[in-house]
Chains A and B, each alone.
Chain A
């Protein structure tokens, strides 16, 4: 073993935290044998799709005949396609869910973080929608939204207008689907915020209270800043999944009525698996990917730039 090698591996050891047996050919072989099955599947199902998918975006492909290079033709076709734009618009509209779901999840997390008797039951109850499949959740809400169904009954009880089935009305369908996303997702983010809340030192909050801070002051000056890393992660995750909204739409509306819930990923899906235009679908996929990366970066900047105290 050369000294550079030793130095490199010591640095690696320092960085990754683990130590281990000396670097020998035999140990290296053993290490790779342990990882081999994982790495094979990783390359086939995670790395290859990125590479081949990018290539497909520049081709015409229908599986039967080999891909045919067409340059930027797919992208030109996409930009000229009104359906693609309306899908993109709906996906961007879906980001409306993000702030609502984060605020509610934080409030619910604060609520279930109180040391009340039986609080475990409520935490569990709020999590049940999360572990249920979109296939089931979508069907249930399809029924709930039916005219004369539970949703209209509740709206009637509250004295709000009940204009038929929300999913059949182009003006309300997207918002009705958004509500299901919200309903299913709150429990998930609640648990993450609960973990974040438990990471905030209680001494800090106590000290502030003793110093005469009100509850609101403690929340704005200690709790919320303490939650910032969690807020960053959670809003990033929910922004990206909003742009990629698909499953709830697939189960509940299939893009209808009148294209009002047609999302960008639903466009990709129907190009690929209904029209068999794999190249065009891959190109749409790349645009969605770029947009989610952009939104990720914006999100990151916003949450970081808001208030830096480090």
Chain B
């Protein structure tokens, strides 16, 4: 702390207006200077953390473009640029990369659609209707959210087999069933139900009553009033779900015997075990796997963060 007392004259000699202004300016410039030093320090720390967070991605990106050389070396710029590794991912392997991309897209579209539809529908009565058993259902769902479910993977695997989702009959139906096998276990999202119920609770009851008096059916009220008014939360939730479905790999790897049905994340691990000689090709695959999620995240960022905050604050 700089010594601020000395410039202050004793009360016996009242300051002139000029002196007063000079002192104020001095104090202000000191504060500005201190602020500036603090900001520089803050930026330095921010940049160091950003490097730690982003360099692994950047390093993978530049290495994936290198045709040859010492692969694991730390570097700032690639030694040579070629698309050979990217070509290799699509051609030089038993894992059909295009198919993996298609699988991931289908799984995401199917998953996000089913999950958001179910949650937006189910949250409506819980927030805005009166019926026997409402509290019971709500609390039962909350308990399920807290209850750890380690046997989930095992029992869901058994359930999926018993439901016949892995049966082989006809190629098209098989594909649909296998996609469903990947999507369905996560389709009843308790967090989603919770977020949407919170959003619906904010919709004024008068609006709904007025619509009911006008003779609107509940489905119409849901579609015309609830959905538009809860749209920000729905978008936030859809983005969260997209990220979750795109990134899921374990369940699909356990579930799907057919490598052609794997989503990208799961297929990437397959790729890394087949491509033991060309890690650069796997890096190219990793880059391709990350890009869609980055696009979705960056475009929906604001909603995404909001959804996440809502999930904790409740």
Does A195 have its Cβ within 8 Å of any Cβ on chain B? yes
Does B151 have its Cβ within 8 Å of any Cβ on chain A? yes
- In Å, the complex CA distance between A125 and B313 comes to 23
- In Å, the complex CA distance between A233 and B309 comes to 12
Contacting residue for A17 out of B118, B157, B201, CB 8 A: B201
Task: Tell me if A49 and B148 are in contact (CB < 8 A).
Answer: no
Task: Tell me if A111 and B212 are in contact (CB < 8 A).
Answer: no
Task: Tell me if B218 and A134 are in contact (CB < 8 A).
Answer: no
Does A250 have its Cβ within 8 Å of any Cβ on chain B? yes
Does B81 have its Cβ within 8 Å of any Cβ on chain A? no
Task: Tell me if B190 and A49 are in contact (CB < 8 A).
Answer: no
Task: Tell me if A195 and B154 are in contact (CB < 8 A).
Answer: no
**A162 nearest CB across to chain B (Å):** 12
A-B contact count (CB 8 A): 279
Assuming the A-B contacts A30-B129, A140-B60, A285-B154, are A45 and B185 also in contact, with contact meaning beta carbons closer than 8 angstroms in the complex? yes
Contacting residue for B289 out of A127, A136, A148, A230, CB 8 A: A136
Interface of A is mostly: helix
Task: Tell me if B118 and A38 are in contact (CB < 8 A).
Answer: yes
**A11 nearest CB across to chain B (Å):** 9
For chain B residues 150-168, which have a beta carbon within 8 Å of chain A? Answer: 150-159, 161
**B81 nearest CB across to chain A (Å):** 19
Residues of B within 8 A of A250 (CB): 250
Which of B25-33, B49-57, B82-90, B91-99 lies at the interface? B49-57
Task: Tell me if B268 and A136 are in contact (CB < 8 A).
Answer: yes
Assuming the A-B contacts A49-B149, A272-B154, are A23 and B131 also in contact, with contact meaning beta carbons closer than 8 angstroms in the complex? yes
Assuming the A-B contacts A128-B294, A135-B269, are A31 and B131 also in contact, with contact meaning beta carbons closer than 8 angstroms in the complex? yes
Interface of B is mostly: helix
Task: Tell me if A122 and B149 are in contact (CB < 8 A).
Answer: no
Task: Tell me if A56 and B42 are in contact (CB < 8 A).
Answer: no
Residues of A within 8 A of B50 (CB): 121-122, 125-126
- In Å, the complex CA distance between A112 and B50 comes to 12
Does B179 have its Cβ within 8 Å of any Cβ on chain A? no
Closest to B193 in A: A38
Closest to A141 in B: B56
Residues of A within 8 A of B126 (CB): 16, 18, 35
Task: Tell me if A122 and B156 are in contact (CB < 8 A).
Answer: no
Task: Tell me if A46 and B54 are in contact (CB < 8 A).
Answer: no
Task: Tell me if A126 and B151 are in contact (CB < 8 A).
Answer: no
Contact size range, B: 35 or more
Task: Tell me if A111 and B141 are in contact (CB < 8 A).
Answer: no
Assuming the A-B contacts A27-B131, A133-B289, are A116 and B43 also in contact, with contact meaning beta carbons closer than 8 angstroms in the complex? yes
Task: Tell me if A20 and B129 are in contact (CB < 8 A).
Answer: yes
Does A220 have its Cβ within 8 Å of any Cβ on chain B? no
Contacting residue for B187 out of A41, A53, A108, CB 8 A: A41
Task: Tell me if B158 and A63 are in contact (CB < 8 A).
Answer: yes
For chain B residues 18-72, which have a beta carbon within 8 Å of chain A? Answer: 39, 42-43, 45-46, 49-50, 52-57, 59-60, 63, 70-72
Contact size range, A: 35 or more
Residues of B within 8 A of A269 (CB): 153
Contacting residue for A38 out of B119, B129, B212, CB 8 A: B119
Residues of A within 8 A of B155 (CB): 48-49, 52-53, 56, 282
Task: Tell me if A35 and B121 are in contact (CB < 8 A).
Answer: yes
**A104 nearest CB across to chain B (Å):** 9
What is the 8 Å Cβ interface bit string for chain A, positions 138-166, against chain B (1 contact, 0 not)?
A: 01110110111110011000000000000
For chain A residues 155-188, which have a beta carbon within 8 Å of chain B? Answer: 183, 186-188
8 A-B pairs with least C-beta separation: A53-B151, A285-B150, A133-B247, A38-B122, A31-B125, A149-B72, A49-B155, A41-B188
Chain A residues with a Cβ under 8 A of chain B: 5, 9, 12-13, 15-23, 27-28, 30-32, 34-35, 37-39, 41-42, 44-50, 52-54, 56-57, 63, 108, 111-112, 114, 116, 119, 121-122, 124-129, 131-136, 139-141, 143-144, 146-150, 153-154, 183, 186-188, 191-192, 195, 199, 230, 233, 240, 244, 246-247, 250-251, 265, 268-269, 272-273, 278, 281-282, 284-286, 288-289, 292-293
Chain B residues with a Cβ under 8 A of chain A: 39, 42-43, 45-46, 49-50, 52-57, 59-60, 63, 70-74, 118-119, 121-122, 124-132, 134-135, 137-138, 141, 144, 147-159, 161, 184-188, 190, 193, 200-201, 205, 208, 212, 218, 222, 243, 246-250, 254, 265-266, 268-269, 272, 279, 282-283, 286, 289-290, 293-294, 297-298, 301, 305, 308-309, 312-313
